[in-house]
Structure 1
Amino acid sequence: MDFDAIVIGAGPAGSAFAGRAAKGGMRVAVIEKKKDLGTPVRCGEGIGGHWFESLGLKIESGVGYAIEGAAVYAPDGRELVVKNDETTGFVVERKIFDKQLAIAAARKGAHFYPKTMATGLVKEAGRIAGVSVQRDGEAFEMRAPLVVSAEGMEAKIAREAGFNCQANLYDVDSCYEYEMAGIAGCHRLIELYFGNKIAPRGYVWVFPKGDDVANVGIGVGGSMGADPKRLLDDFIAKNPRFKKAEPIEVKGGVISVGAPIDSFVKDGFMVVGTAAHQVDPIHGGGIALAIEAGEMAGDAALAAFEKQDYSARTLKKYEDDWRAAEGQKLSKRLKLRKVIEQLNDDDFNHIFKEIGDSDMLKVLDSDFKPVVAKILLKRPSLLKVLMSLV
């Protein structure tokens, strides 16, 4: 089977690339090892409202639950409610959302091959020429001058191609999540609970999906040695609002919260989405970032297709565009993550006492300096920790 591009993985990044490239005239194959798209879910399934306008995303009825803001909680229970474009949006049903992205790409001409596993690269004269695959016990080759890894955290084929996609324990979070029904007090706010006893180097989240239904999960630093399931079960057991709640689905896995990989392209190869660690280091969210990366990569691939030049030099436009759009912002978010993980519970409580919703909005916009100054007035002992943000 011959194509112009082969995409490994039918998640948001893979389908976004496929739709963009196929619409422009490329013959694109998308291979997906799972028989069902959108599984396994490893995140809270939230997408910020500002992405829907910038990416032209649409949420159909039954796919997403509208969110109006975020409620953030200190270890002592103090609440801070924030409402802006980053904290409004939708909590989506990934199984449906991902499938809709794939359907949109298929309608533009992309070819999908579910339950098909990439087992290795095919090379000719030292150049990438496609991938070896297995499907229903049959092994065969699919050929193309361009291979795109949208494999997620595993990134097996990207690593074979020479990309440094292996995350260390410090730069990952271990996550565990229940989708629960019968929860009391669900509002249209995502809830984030901080505290080293609750979630070491992480937080607990409650992402509503209905009046009494929500994703209730936890992410803890991969290097902390903590058991996320035990910590989440403890949080739920101690919170009376979950007394009548029942888990209807279990989700979880490992997510990247570090910096993007060093390079996204080589001759005949591109890496997009979670495989490239294109995620927000604060919360590990990456759905919209993956779609954005997939579309940028698709545009660069079309330029390469027109020239019939799939060299890294030509494909690098994707990397340059993505880093220009998101690199500085995510670098600042990574600095913030590294500061947050140095705070003890007393520090958290003090900070929540001193700042208001307008300060939190500044932090979300990476405008750290005025907020740092405000905190240090009352807690100068945090100078060494916070100065990296200024």
Structure 2
Amino acid sequence: MALQFQCLQVFSPLSPVATTRSPSSSRSPSLVIASSKFHTAPLLGRKLRAAVIGGGPAGSSAAEALAAGGVETYLFERSPSSAKPCGGALPLCMLSEFDIPAHLIDRHVTRMKIISPSNIAVDFGKTLKAHEFIPMLRREVLDSFLRARAQSIGANIIHGLVLNLEVPASSNAPYVVHYTTENSMRSLAVDVVIGADGANSRVAKSIDAGGYTCAIAFQERIKLPEEKMEYYENLAEMYVGNDVSPDFYAWVFPKCDHVAVGTGTVCSKQDIKQYQSGIRERAKSKISGGKVIKVEAHPIPEHPRARRVIGRVALVGDAAGYVTKCSGEGIYFAAKSGRMCGEAVVRASEGGERMIGERDLKREYLREWDAKYVGTFRFLDLLQRVFYGDNAGREALVEMCGNEYVQRMTFESYLYKKLAEGNRVEDAKLMWNTIGSLIKCGIVGR
């Protein structure tokens, strides 16, 4: 009830724009525009108000940063108990950077196998140090923890479905979030909106942020007999080949008491169940006798959107397209982009004391993000186009993964999210071996 009152009164210092309506009502509440100076005007008698749409790692991290920085924050989550079909692997640095407690981790993966189209298996992880591992967890567990932490810092959690975002006609008017909760239609007026509502983002559609190509991920959670689960105690597997995906990879990742078995594709989404049958067949001897306890599917963006900041609206996580090619990694980049965006709003608004504008968001958030990560996304896009295009390229990829120098450079870059320091002699050898693998597999021209 207290939260409902806040929603109704949230813009009262300016005008009574937030209302409660019946679900059958289709008319939008009228906007009473207050006069205020755009960009640098101080907010008198109140704090900057922000709505974060989506309660995954991106939205929760944004809400936490906003609330901690003094911004009045509302975090919308449609389905708190739902789980995204996700491998659930985190880079090691995320545990300390985002203060992820150890009890959330299901498995400490220290062994990884990558399996070629011809079923050649390479142990990928021989260079891991004694203290290093890949944390595996369930998304519903991580997401719930991050939301609860944002709430404990001061973010207001609203369990509701956002229907649309009403964009103001002038630069100094509020944005209005229309949503349903507890079988009633409601509205909330805010100064700033952060869209963290996934690949099919309604926020992105509301601001005409442009489309992008999406892949589809399909995953089954399979509870294995105890003796077979022991095989996957600290082992994750990646499979490549036309039978499991024409342009990506399939996986068997261990969770607390089951394995996640899935695949993804962008160029042949209509055949996703065929590819899921392919990974089940490839891993048949190791997962037979298991019971499917959950089936999940979800769109995954293939590249960043062309427009990620428009007006006082910013996109983060999957809504912005921050999923890497080649590896399909998105959890870390979702949480990182959410935190960077939230901190950018706090900086630009001087702790929630001043109004901000599009130029502030582009300067404090977008420019910083692009400078830090655009190169990584472009490089992994190139790797995917070279090695995931056909089975010949995939065989070359698996052959390269047997090289311990490749493994060390890969894991140092992945686990700590920074460019690993190379060795010129080893780099030259790697280049030569890569060309040799490409020649042998007949894909040098490509």
**Partner SS state of residue 285, structure 1:** coil
In the alignment, the residues of structure 2 paired with residue 304 and residue 259 of structure 1 have an alpha-carbon distance, to the nearest angstrom, of 27
Summarize the Cα distance change of 1:216–1:59 in structure 2 as closer, same or farther, 3 Å threshold: farther
Aligned residues: 373
Which one of 68, 74, 84 corresponds to residue 116 of structure 2?
A: 74
Gaps of 5+ in 2: 1-6, 11-47, 414-418
Q: CA deviation at 1:63?
A: 4.4
**SS in structure 1 at match of 2:349:** helix
**Secondary structure in 1 matching 2:101:** coil
**Closer/same/farther in 2, CA of residues 298 and 244 from structure 1, 3 Å limit:** same
Task: Measure, in 2, the Cα distance between the counterparts of 1:8 and 1:350.
Answer: 42
Aligned with 1:157 (options 198, 203, 210): 203
Q: Which moved more, 1:76-85 or 1:361-370?
A: 361-370
* Amino acid paired to 2:240: F
Deviation of the 1:284 alpha carbon: 2.1
Which has more strand, going by share of residues?
1
How do 1:228-267 residues align onto structure 2 when only pairs under 5 Å count?
A: 228-237=272-281, 239-256=284-301, 258-267=302-311
Amino acid at match of 2:358: A
1:383 is matched with 444
Gaps of at least 5 residues in structure 1 are 386-390
2:373 alignment partner in structure 1: 326
The higher radius of gyration belongs to 2
1:189 maps to amino acid: L
Distance 2:433 2:105 in 1: 41
Q: 1:7-86 alignment to 2 at 5 Å?
A: 7-34=52-79, 36-37=80-81, 39-53=82-96, 55-83=97-125, 84=128
1:359 aligns with 2:406: yes
Q: Residue in 1 aligned with 2:361?
A: 315
More displaced 10-residue stretch of structure 1: 151-160 or 112-121: 112-121
Structure-1 separation of matches of 2:67 and 2:222: 39
In structure 2, what is the Cα distance between the partners aligned to 1:346 and 1:340? 8
Matched, 1:302 2:352: no
How far, CA to CA, are the matches of 2:409 and 2:329 in structure 1? Answer: 20
Q: Which residue of 2 aligns with 1:216?
A: 261
Alpha-carbon contact 1:73-1:194 (below 8 Å) kept = yes
AA aligned to 2:220 is Y
Answer with 234-243 or 327-336: which moved more.
234-243
Q: Secondary structure at the match of 2:103?
A: coil
Counterpart residue number, 1:182: 224
**Structure 2 vs 1, CA of residues 338 and 346 (structure 1 numbering), >3 Å: closer, same or farther?**
closer
Alignment of 1:106-145 (within 5 A): 106-123=151-168, 125=170, 127-145=173-191
Does the CA contact (< 8 Å) of 1:82 and 1:361 recur in 2?
no
CA 1:195/1:372 → structure 2, altered by over 3 Å: closer, same or farther? Answer: farther
TM-superposed deviation, 1:265:
1.6
Counterpart Cα distance in 2 of 1:378 and 1:47? 30
Q: Deviations for 1:152-204, whole angstroms, at most 9, x for unmatched residues?
A: 0111122211212x223xxx322211111116221412210111123211111
1:148 lines up with 2:148 in the alignment: no
Conservation of the 8 A alpha-carbon contact between 1:69 and 1:188? yes
Displacement of 1:378 in angstroms is 5.4
